[in-house]
Amino acid sequence: MYPNSPQVNSNQPNPFLVSQESELDFRVILFRYLQHWPVILIFAFLGVVAAYFYNKFTTPLFKVESTLIIKDDDKSLGSDIFGSAGFSGLQGRSNIENEIGLLKSYSLAISTIGKLNLNVQYFKEGFYKMVEIYGNSPVLVQADFSRKQAVGGLFRLVVLDENRFELTTEGNGFQLFNPADPNFKTGTGLVLLPKSIYEFGETVSHEFFEFKVDKVSAIPGEIVFFRLLDTPSLALTYSSALSVTPSNKQSSILTLSLETPLRRLGVDYLNGLMETYLQRELDEKNRTSQNTIRFIDQQLSGITDSLRGSENKLQQYRSENKIFNLSQEGSVIFSSLQELEKQKSQTELNIKYLQTLKTYLGTGSTGELVAPSIMGTADPLLSALVQNLSELQADRVRLKANFSDQTPQVRDINARIKNTTDALQENVSSAITNTQNVLADLNNRIRMIERDINQLPETERNLLGYQRQFSINENIYIYFLQKKAEAEITMASNMPSNVILDFAKSGQGPISPNTSRNLIFGLLIGLIIPIGFITVKDFLNTKIEDPKELENQIKVPLIGMVGRNISGESIPVLNNPRSSVTESFRSLRADLTYLSPQKENLTLLFTSSISGEGKTFVSMNMASVFALLGKKTILIGLDLRKPKIAQEFGLKNDVGMSTVLSSTTSWKQVVKSSGYENLDVILSGPIPPNPAELLLQEKFGKIIQEVKKEYEIVVFDCPPVGLVSETKELFAFSDVNFFVFRQGYSMKGNTQILNNLVEKGNVSKIYGVLNDIHMDKGYGYGYGYGYGYGYGYGYGHNSYGYHDEVHIPWWKRAFRRRS
């Protein structure tokens, strides 16, 4: 990869690092979060506290359940015939989905609320919130919803004595309900009701409301709040809150459930809903009988007068002519004629019924249909069609309670009603023609018998005529009375097909809020918020933090890491030799024996991407650690633009490398003692106007050659290679080069500067060094045994007596600056 150095494959593990990656990653991640443990603990505590107060202030909800059995209707006559023809409505089987829709329908909720009188909610003041009461309110409010009412807002009622109370309004949450347009309410603004005193039983009238308050068990001084609610809004609330589900896919048992803060209210509503549902089903069953009775009553009103008139004429004729009975011959003729007349009357009644049925079908008044079997029509096909049409009509009523006319279900059943109606009209027309033929045959047979009647004496012939007319009317009258009685018996014996299996009941404990779950959820939220914030912050962080991430990004080995200098000393190697930072430089010195084996004299170059990453700090201490070993060492400051070495050693930067390069001064004249044994310094000197040109002179190379002959270790403190260009030329004079990064300071993108140097092949033996490792972030664990501050349990922070650390208060460290 680079000349004169071992080839390094970026895909191979770094030989200087241990391979316990999973353990290291876990520790790094753990310490990354644990350094913020106070914040995490505070948020977790706040999450639990918030969950506690949520449980405390949330109104508990109870689940009320009941069950219904939806029974299958018996198959109607002709259902087998029409089932194969595609008339599925003839199957007579209750559609579970339709029944669920009916139970959740708005119209059924309206009927139930009307029976239970739920239009007034009562409240009492609790310790920290309003508490709704039901069934034992000390007062009873009766509102007149046939006029405009202000609904939704609170009224405050204070009982003054046995007969009087004070009434005011609370807040401005009122809306105006108008019975002329019940589905749309308008805002009333602020309904102001000054403190007004009324008597119990007195009508309270206002521009926006009118109601009456009766005392039930109120005592003087008691305070009651109440709210008026209109029925449409309540119906929408209850229908949406109601849940109706089958026990399983094959079962016809429906479970009705309602979540409510008032168990008794939920029980009353579900029981009332089921009773209303069954009564509606019973009303639908009785509708056919009611239609039959109404039709018979219409017919009886006409036949009664005819019967009475024919009876009077018969009695009058008998009295006037002194004749009461027919002769034997007349009786035989009369019996034959009476039977034919009876058949004729039945046939005429059938024609009348069929014509009425045809009229109903033509005008769309199918709700008034009378069953053919009740009227004596024995045609099974006609009876099946009428019954099928009635069932389809009932299904459409149920569907339209929840769906609009444009939904597929309603459009499908409308098409089926039209097909059944068309088939019924065709069948009725055919039946009318056939019945008229039967009637014509009966008339012919009656005319033949009338010829025999003409041969009787006149007196007997006239008596037979009166008796014949009376007998016809009497038979029709008796027939209608019989059918009416049958319809009334049928209606009285009707029972709902569906049955209540279990009446509503409530569990003893609330289902909401779930105290334990909410506390756990609050704890998790309290942990997730700070951890998530830390994670996002780290994800968006553009600074180098993780040594392993740096190692993966650079194309050279990460040879060493230097811990944070908490002692505050600029040169801890010389001033605090037992510190862990000093040990990290010793470890780096030891590694050089592997990087440049069998080489006594070394020239080391230190650079970085930008200023402030600690290259001067690392170069000074690296030079110092060789001086401690007894090596004759010189530190040369080549950062001619921003010199810092003089300040750290307490020297005056009056002469230096810039002086040597810009004049005839010998380099030996500018060498200064650092004050420590075996360590000399050549400062950068006064800042020149052309630092790049000075370092690129041929003279500089000759000076370095002379320096190398005098010293065993030469250390270059170079300017940042990412900012100036001359540093690239200085690599040619060094044996080993170090590119310094600083944790939490260097940008991640700066690694590309080092990679570009390697890719272009201009630099040999260059290695990465990570400076200012933060032990509290957990990055110090596991990166080699003794590789600097925090690289193992033996050489980490406060390493069991092996290192001495001088702790400086944070507020002092904050104002110290490191190069």
Q: Over the stretch 643-652, which tens digit does the pLDDT of each residue have?
A: 889 888 889 9
> What are the pLDDT digits (tens) for 41-84?
999 999 999 999 988 888 889 999 999 998 765 444 444 434 44
Determine the pLDDT at residue 112: 93
More confident: 316 or 452: 316
Residue 274 has pLDDT above 80, yes or no: yes
- State whether the Cα torsion 779-783-789-795 is positive or negative: positive
Determine the pLDDT at residue 325: 55
The rounded distance, in Å, linking the Cα atoms of 768 and 770 is: 7
Tell me the residue type at 282.
Answer: L
Are 797 and 789 spatial neighbours (Cβ–Cβ below 8 Å)? Answer: yes
More confident: 330 or 444: 444
- Give every CB contact of residue 607 below 8 A, 6+ residues apart in sequence: 615, 718, 719, 720, 721, 727, 737, 738, 739, 740
Give which of 741, 749, 795, 746 is closest to 771, Cα–Cα: 741
> What are the pLDDT digits (tens) for 570-620?
888 888 888 888 888 998 988 888 887 767 789 999 999 998 899 999 999
Pairs from 158-163 (Cβ < 8 Å, separation ≥ 24)? 158/221, 158/222, 158/223, 159/215, 159/218, 159/219, 159/220, 159/221, 159/222, 159/223, 159/224, 160/197, 160/220, 161/220, 162/215, 162/220, 163/199, 163/200
Residue 138 has pLDDT above 70, yes or no: yes
The rounded distance, in Å, linking the Cα atoms of 326 and 328 is: 7
Lowest mean pLDDT among 61-70, 673-682, 690-699: 690-699
Residue 440 has pLDDT above 80, yes or no: yes
**Per the structure block, which two tokens stand in for 245?**
């589900």
pLDDT-based confidence at 303, cuts 50/70/90? confident
> What are the pLDDT digits (tens) for 516-536?
999 999 999 999 999 999 888
Q: Sheet holding 130-133: strands in order across?
A: 130-133, 120-125, 223-228, 154-159, 164-170, 196-199
Determine the pLDDT at residue 770: 93
Mean pLDDT score across all residues of the chain: 79
Are 743 and 713 spatial neighbours (Cβ–Cβ below 8 Å)? Answer: no
In this structure, the number of other CB atoms found within 10 A of the CB of residue 214 comes to: 12
Percent of the chain whose predicted confidence (pLDDT) is above 70: 79
Look up the pTM and report it: 0.58
Average pLDDT score over residue span 285-304: 78
pLDDT-based confidence at 10, cuts 50/70/90? very low
Determine the pLDDT at residue 798: 38
The rounded distance, in Å, linking the Cα atoms of 563 and 617 is: 12
Residue 261 has pLDDT above 80, yes or no: yes
Determine the pLDDT at residue 247: 85
> What are the pLDDT digits (tens) for 779-817?
554 443 333 333 333 333 333 334 454 444 444 444 444
> What are the pLDDT digits (tens) for 537-548?
888 888 888 888
More confident: 660 or 476: 660
Are 230 and 182 spatial neighbours (Cβ–Cβ below 8 Å)? Answer: yes
Determine the pLDDT at residue 493: 80
pLDDT-based confidence at 624, cuts 50/70/90? very high
Determine the pLDDT at residue 617: 93
Residue spans per domain, the chain: 21-33+544-813, 37-58+513-539, 113-276, 279-502
> What are the pLDDT digits (tens) for 81-136?
344 434 444 333 446 888 888 899 888 999 999 888 899 999 998 877 888 999 88
Average pLDDT score over residue span 612-631: 92
> What are the pLDDT digits (tens) for 714-755?
999 999 987 787 788 888 899 999 999 999 899 988 899 889
**Per the structure block, which two tokens stand in for 37?**
């443990």
DSSP 790: T
Determine the pLDDT at residue 715: 95
**For residues 408-446, b (16+ Cβ closer than 10 Å) or e, as one string?**
ebbeebeebbeebbebbeebbeebbeebeeebeebeeeb
Determine the pLDDT at residue 25: 64
> What are the pLDDT digits (tens) for 382-432?
777 777 777 777 777 767 666 677 777 778 888 888 888 888 888 888 888
DSSP 158: E
Determine the pLDDT at residue 188: 63
More confident: 312 or 320: 312
**Per the structure block, which two tokens stand in for 608?**
């970085």
> What are the pLDDT digits (tens) for 147-180?
888 898 899 999 999 999 999 888 777 888 988 8
Determine the pLDDT at residue 99: 86
CATH architecture designation of domain 21-33+544-813: 3-Layer(aba) Sandwich (3.40)
Determine the pLDDT at residue 364: 65
Determine the pLDDT at residue 529: 93
Question: If DSSP codes are grouped into helix, strand and coil, which group holds residue 673?
Answer: strand
Residue 269 has pLDDT above 50, yes or no: yes
Determine the pLDDT at residue 370: 55
In this structure, the number of other CB atoms found within 10 A of the CB of residue 143 comes to: 23
In this structure, the number of other CB atoms found within 10 A of the CB of residue 373 comes to: 16
- Give every CB contact of residue 697 below 8 A, 6+ residues apart in sequence: 661
Determine the pLDDT at residue 569: 82
> What are the pLDDT digits (tens) for 745-785?
999 888 998 898 888 867 878 999 999 887 655 555 444 33
Are 752 and 759 spatial neighbours (Cβ–Cβ below 8 Å)? Answer: no
The rounded distance, in Å, linking the Cα atoms of 235 and 185 is: 15
Percent of the chain whose predicted confidence (pLDDT) is above 90: 27
3-state secondary structure 273-332: HHHHHHHHHHHHHHHHHHHHHHHHHHHHHHHHHHHHHHHHHHHHHHHHHCCCCCCHHHHH
Length reported for the chain: 819
Find the DSSP H helices in 35-184. Answer: 37-57, 79-83, 96-103, 106-116
The rounded distance, in Å, linking the Cα atoms of 67 and 70 is: 10
DSSP 747: B
